Amino acid sequence: ETGVTQTPRHLVMGMTNKKSLKCEQHLGHNAMYWYKQSAKKPLELMFVYNFKEQTENNSVPSRFSPECPNSSHLFLHLHTLQPEDSALYLCASSHVDRSYEQYFGPGTRLTVT
């Protein structure tokens, strides 16, 4: 596989469920990102990992828990979400020193019921 992959592509979960989103990059990058994209709102940066260390948490509620076991993999663990958390969740990667040149995965369309 090439580029940035994300699974699952679609997810429907109840407010009491626990689920995880997975991202994998095959580009040799060392920085990874989680974004939230809601209708009519700009892309919201959630978390940044550089060399698998978290360098930014953009005031994200604790019901979202990221995990970065290595520079190629990134997870977003979800629990007790709210309906307003329904959105497209995008993973991206880049070289640490070229953080503006981000390559995005296809996203996970999340619906919280």
Partner 1 sequence: QKEVEQNSGPLSVPEGAIASLNCTYSDRGSQSFFWYRQYSGKSPELIMSIYSNGDKEDGRFTAQLNKASQYVSLLIRDSQPSDSATYLCAVTGTASKLTFGTGTRLQVTL
Q: Does residue 26 touch partner 1 according to CB under 8 A?
A: no
Task: Pick one of 10, 28, 42, 84: the residue that binds partner 1 (CB under 8 A).
Answer: 42
Q: Does residue 40 touch partner 1 according to CB under 8 A?
A: yes
Q: Does residue 30 touch partner 1 according to CB under 8 A?
A: no
Span of 13-21, 39-47, 67-75, 76-84 interacting with partner 1 by CB under 8 A? 39-47
Span of 12-20, 21-29, 63-71, 100-108 interacting with partner 1 by CB under 8 A? 100-108
Rounded Cα–Cα distance for residues 107 and 10 (Å):
8
SS3 track for 40-83: CCCCEEEEEEECCEEEEECCCCCCEEEEEEECCEEEEEEECCCH
How many chain residues touch partner 1 (CB under 8 A)?
Answer: 16
**Pairing of the two strands 108-112 and 10-13:** parallel
